Amino acid sequence: LDNQLKSLSSSESKVALTKFNQIQNKISVLTKESVGAVNVLQDFAECAKASPASKSSYRKSVELLKNIKAMTESLIALSEAVKTFDLKQLQTDTKSFIDSVGFKKDMKSGSKEYNEMVAKFKDSKEFATLQKRLGDLENSHNIITNAKMAGTLDAIIGGKTTLEQVSLKKSIETEERVNTCLQKHSKKSMLVAQAIHLIQKLRQLDSTKTEDVESIFSVVSAVSKELSTANTIPDTMKADSNKMTDETNKLPDALAKSEVIGQSVNSLRSAFVLRDLKKEVEQLKTIDSAVQAVIQKISAEAQKIVKPLWGDHKKEMSELDKTLGEIGSLNLNVSNLTTIGAFGTPLTALATLTPVSMKAKEKSKALDTLLNDGTLNMDPQVKGDIENSKKTLDQLADLDLGFASHSAQFQSAPSVFSDLENFLTKLLQVPIAPRQPSGQTPGAPSGPGGVAGNQQGGSAAAVFFAWKKRSSGS
């Protein structure tokens, strides 16, 4: 059994469990609703029961719409041509050109003076400006006199009755009903698409990479069989019961005290883990704009699901940043403490930490939905940043960041730890009558310095020194 348990704690097992966690994260996008969403295919069939319109009912209307579009484009071009053409500016540019050249009366063609004048105006800025202005005038004239516009207008006038045909109206009404019907099932459609995408990814998994995971499960199964006799332990304990065993039930309000100690230890652990994630949190604070940009690229129905899960990131990061700062300045130096009872007082400082309302698990689901959306063509850099943010959120999801909301437990920690110390002290002083428990070898020690006393004393010492080591080390 020891050898089997050792294999579970190996580095290879940790890597294998990380792989399994990745598979679990992929599967986590599916919800209870995903199972029922498969029926959406039948819903689609119901929506499509209406007879589709024939192509002939659309042919004339399509031609009409093409003509209307062409006429619209022509009118826009005409409007732009009228706006850009400036008759006064043409007159001004023409006068500037004539003045710059210096025309004279009775100038003979081919004369030196004439050739110099021609060479001069060809290279002049005024000539280039006049050429452009005349080109604009020609374009405007071509648009206005375009024969196609007249033909297009005639086609529109002649086909206006097409839109009034009963067959076309019925076809449009049918399509509207089908579209409305499909819209009702858009949420289920998205869930089915996610499930199909997940199945495709799982099929792509390399089975050789999951062999380590299967090996771990085999070991766990074997260990479970080895421990199948654990249900006999209570009977053995009853048979070996002595006065010390009975005394362990005499701690007043044991359940309430256990909750205080458990909450204090868990909150302290969460504070230390959060402090160690400071670098990752800094990166998480900068991801909001990238996530919002990706959210805008998914469907409206998907946005309704993802946006509430993502939440108010700036507000949540502000809370988290504040709590991180408070943890950094928190004084939990317990290296000089020598008793279990003294450890309760420093824990009251946890009540001063600002609680974090962020729902890290839901935010992680939002990012997972974006990462698994097959319609997105995400930038590799953005995808990498989102994946890293998801890993950080998964780590934060395991923490209890309520802090000040548990102030009642923290405030009672000093008295609870003091009571625990007193209880353990009295417990270890209880005399044990010499007797031979079931299964014990005759002659084995069973007094205060025997097996039972050593086990209880060892437990108390383990609690004390493990606590001290963790606190002083952090």
SS3 109: coil
Tokens in use for 403? 């802090």
Q: What pLDDT, on the 0 to 100 scale, is given for residue 293?
A: 93
The DSSP annotation for 243-257 comes to HHHHHGGGSTTHHHH
Average pLDDT over residues 160-178: 75
Q: Which residues of 420-454 are buried (b: 16+ CB within 10 A; e: fewer)?
A: bbebbeebeebebeeeeeeeeeeeeebebeeebbe
Q: What pLDDT, on the 0 to 100 scale, is given for residue 348?
A: 86
pLDDT digits (tens, 9 = 90+) for 318-374: 999 999 998 888 776 666 778 888 878 888 888 888 899 899 999 999 999 999 887
- In angstroms, rounded to a whole number, what is the distance separating the alpha carbons of residues 198 and 193? 9
CA atoms 336, 340, 341, 343: torsion sign? positive
The yes-or-no verdict on residue 460 having pLDDT over 70 is no
Q: Give the length of the chain.
A: 474
- In Å, how far from its chain's centre is CA 85? 55
Q: What pLDDT, on the 0 to 100 scale, is given for residue 447?
A: 40
pLDDT digits (tens, 9 = 90+) for 436-458: 444 444 444 444 333 333 343 33
Q: What pLDDT, on the 0 to 100 scale, is given for residue 282?
A: 93
Q: Specify burial of residue 32 (Cβ count, 10 A radius: 0-12, 13-18, 19+).
A: exposed
pLDDT digits (tens, 9 = 90+) for 97-146: 777 766 666 666 777 777 777 777 777 777 788 778 777 777 766 766 66
Nearest Cα to Cα of residue 275 among 332, 313, 333, 326: 326
pLDDT digits (tens, 9 = 90+) for 401-442: 888 888 888 888 888 888 888 888 877 775 555 544 444 444
Residue at 103: amino acid letter: F
Helices (H), 360-450: 360-371, 380-397, 407-428
Q: Is the pTM of this model over 0.95?
A: no
The pLDDT mean for the chain works out to: 76
Looking at residue 53, the DSSP 8-state letter turns out to be P
Looking at residue 340, the DSSP 8-state letter turns out to be G
Q: What pLDDT, on the 0 to 100 scale, is given for residue 114?
A: 74
Residue at 375: amino acid letter: T
CB atoms within 10 A of CB 122: 10
The confidence band for 462, taking pLDDT boundaries of 50, 70 and 90, is: very low
